[in-house]
Chain A
Amino acid sequence: QQPVQSPQAVILREGEDAVINCSSSKALYSVHWYRQKHGEAPVFLMILLKGGEQKGHDKISASFNEKKQQSSLYLTASQLSYSGTYFCGTETGANNLFFGTGTRLTVIP
């Protein structure tokens, strides 16, 4: 039930854009995105519910395609502070949330 994330890792220069994808083999109720910096706890970014909505958080936004059971996280004009590992979490039923293996994002000057 673990979603699949791609790419596994990406290196960006400051100001560049990136897309992280998350897909599931099961129907999804919601998709969650978290970021974890090295040595720290994961921190909530956003939740997307069924309905194909797109959400934004500063220059980080995400979309959710319910029919394709996919979500994408968009990072625009990346900053050094965006570095970390991004996890998508998918809810496929009541009271569960399964996370992917993560995408390590490194932003360099």
Chain B
Amino acid sequence: KAGVTQTPRYLIKTRGQQVTLSCSPISGHRSVSWYQQTPGQGLQFLFEYFSETQRNKGNFPGRFSGRQFSNSRSEMNVSTLELGDSALYLCASSFQVPNEKLFFGSGTQLSVL
């Protein structure tokens, strides 16, 4: 069974640009969660999707948004990038709810210059 796939693996953007990250969950998993990881803050919860609906959202500004498609694949978008958005963005999938065992992807390393 293929694991969680995140693309691209690395991204370099400049301030003010926007970026879209993609996540393909494990086949059969319908819940997808997104996390931002930085050295000092650990894993910060962004949002969680299930059946194309956002069920929960962390404490991030509206520049961070996401969506989920009917095949459970998910994308997250960050508009008007700031230097502080530089981080590893991790996607995790689970069968139905995020309080089950999560399977994480390898992440997308975003650098904002």
Binding site for B on A (CB under 8 A): 2, 29-30, 32, 34, 40-44, 47, 87, 89, 91, 94-102
Q: Is A99 touching B43 in the complex (CB atoms < 8 A)?
A: yes
A-B pair number, CB within 8 angstroms: 65
B4, closest chain A residue (CB): A41
A30, closest chain B residue (CB): B99
Which A residues touch B105, using CB under 8 A? 41
A93, closest chain B residue (CB): B56
Q: Is A2 touching B102 in the complex (CB atoms < 8 A)?
A: no
Contact of A40 among B41, B44, B58, B106 (CB under 8 A): B106
Contact of A97 among B4, B102, B103 (CB under 8 A): B102
Q: Is B90 touching A42 in the complex (CB atoms < 8 A)?
A: yes
Q: Is A87 touching B42 in the complex (CB atoms < 8 A)?
A: yes
Q: Is A96 touching B56 in the complex (CB atoms < 8 A)?
A: yes
Q: Is B98 touching A96 in the complex (CB atoms < 8 A)?
A: yes
Complex formed: what's the CA distance from A101 to B38 in Å?
A: 9
